[in-house]
Structure 1
Amino acid sequence: MSPPALSRFPVPELKDLPDDLRARILEVQDKAGFVPNVFLTLAHRPAEWRAFMAYHDALLLKEGGSLSKGEREMIVVATSGANHCLYCVVAHGAILRVYEKKPLLADQVAINHRKADITPRQRAMLDFAMKVCTASHEVEEADFAALRGHGFSDEDAWDIAAITAFFGLSNRMANVMGMRPNDEFFLMGRVPRPPRPATA
């Protein structure tokens, strides 16, 4: 039986990609030990790949604000679960486990963040994110007030909403493409990482 396709759309070969895409992908491969499938599947359209990665980096690698890297990943996992996105739940669940050093957390957040082992502050953050995800037309001043009660600023609320909205796009495209999560993601943060082979 042949392995399932990464996407129902064409997936370009690394050697055929523009230099800037190839350089970024090789950088990720060197750091992670593998290439996340999202980098390859979205490379089908290089201009959109660049725009997607630029916004991704602006949201998830942003300096400042009160959201930790782990909390940003919590938002991705919770809202991706609501959007039934296998790729994003698995891939960002792995990153969440690594950042928070909690092997059970991603599964809890993906299924029901209100039962997860998180702080009241993080629960309020995810309550807001889930409302943006599922009923953004109902967001009102009381939702911002609830966040402020846990120490979040209105700029933090923007970050929570923007991460949620961006991954709403990502979730939908991953579902349409049938994007397959890398096998490596399933065990990341659950079991000790194997040692990297020595280089000459």
Structure 2
Amino acid sequence: MAHIELGVDENQFPGINGPMRFRPETAKPLSELAEVLLRQGPHPLSAGERELIAAYVSGLNECDFCCSSHAAFAAAQLDEGMSLVEQVRVDLDNAAVSEKLRALLRIAGAVQESGRKVTADLVAAARAEGATDLEIHDTVLIAAAFCMYNRYVDGLGTLAPGDPARYAAAASKIVERGYLD
């Protein structure tokens, strides 16, 4: 049960969905930010890759709801599906991703610890693999935003369903309609 009365059935509106309904004035800009960062294009990183960054950071933050959600959203948009998402979460060094994406995920992991952990060496390594300033910028912002989203969800003690099918169903909606619906 959430730490505050959200005015919704948590089983129907788990995780971030309850707080978003509780305070629609803040839900709107939070949803718009997610839409821009994770879906809008054209972008050199696919929507699946950007969702993978969100899932990776959420996993590092141990936010079950956001990690499960964005893992499902990434899997639905990546050819390799959930197996790739799990590889990245378990063993980034050996996951079957491009060296550029691996370098960007390392930057995201540094942001999760502290923005000051992003070093010139991490950025140079990403650039050496072909990462653009836009990709580096958006990786840092996705990671920072997901630290905020994760703390929002967990700070209010919202429900994280255990059934993967719930996240897969949400993935279908997100892939089809986005975060603004």
- Give the TM-score taking structure 1 as reference length: 0.72
Q: How does 1:111-150 map to 2 (within 5 A)?
A: 111-150=90-129
CA-to-aligned-CA distance 1:102-144 (integer Å, 9 cap, x gap): 2322223233322323222221111111112113213233222
Q: How far has the Cα of 1:42 moved from its partner?
A: 2.1
Larger radius of gyration: 1
Query: Which AA in structure 2 matches 1:83?
Result: N
Contact 2:58–2:67, Cα closer than 8 Å, also in 1 = yes
Contact 1:81–1:111, Cα closer than 8 Å, also in 2 = no
Contact 1:70–1:96, Cα closer than 8 Å, also in 2 = yes
Q: 20, 27, 35: which is aligned to 1:49?
A: 27
Q: Tell me which residue corresponds to 2:60.
A: 82
The 2-side partners of 1:126 and 1:152 are apart by: 11
Contact 1:89–1:110, Cα closer than 8 Å, also in 2 = no
* 1:188 aligned onto 2:171: no
The 2-side partners of 1:162 and 1:119 are apart by: 20
The 2-side partners of 1:186 and 1:114 are apart by: 30
Structure 2 unaligned spans of 5+ = 170-181
Q: 49, 55, 66: which is aligned to 2:44?
A: 66
Q: How far has the Cα of 1:13 moved from its partner?
A: 4.5
Could you say if the C-alpha distance between residues 136 and 77 of structure 1 is closer, same or farther in structure 2, counting changes exceeding 3 Å?
A: same
* 1:174 aligned onto 2:169: no
CA RMSD of aligned residues (A): 2.4
The 1-side partners of 2:95 and 2:158 are apart by: 27
Report sequence identity in percent: 25
* 1:12 aligned onto 2:34: no
Contact 1:77–1:109, Cα closer than 8 Å, also in 2 = no
Q: How far has the Cα of 1:54 moved from its partner?
A: 1.5
Could you say if the C-alpha distance between residues 186 and 50 of structure 1 is closer, same or farther in structure 2, counting changes exceeding 3 Å?
A: closer
Moved beyond 6 Å, runs of 4+: none
Contact 1:94–1:186, Cα closer than 8 Å, also in 2 = no
- Give the TM-score taking structure 2 as reference length: 0.79
Higher relative contact order (CA 8 A, sep 6+): 2
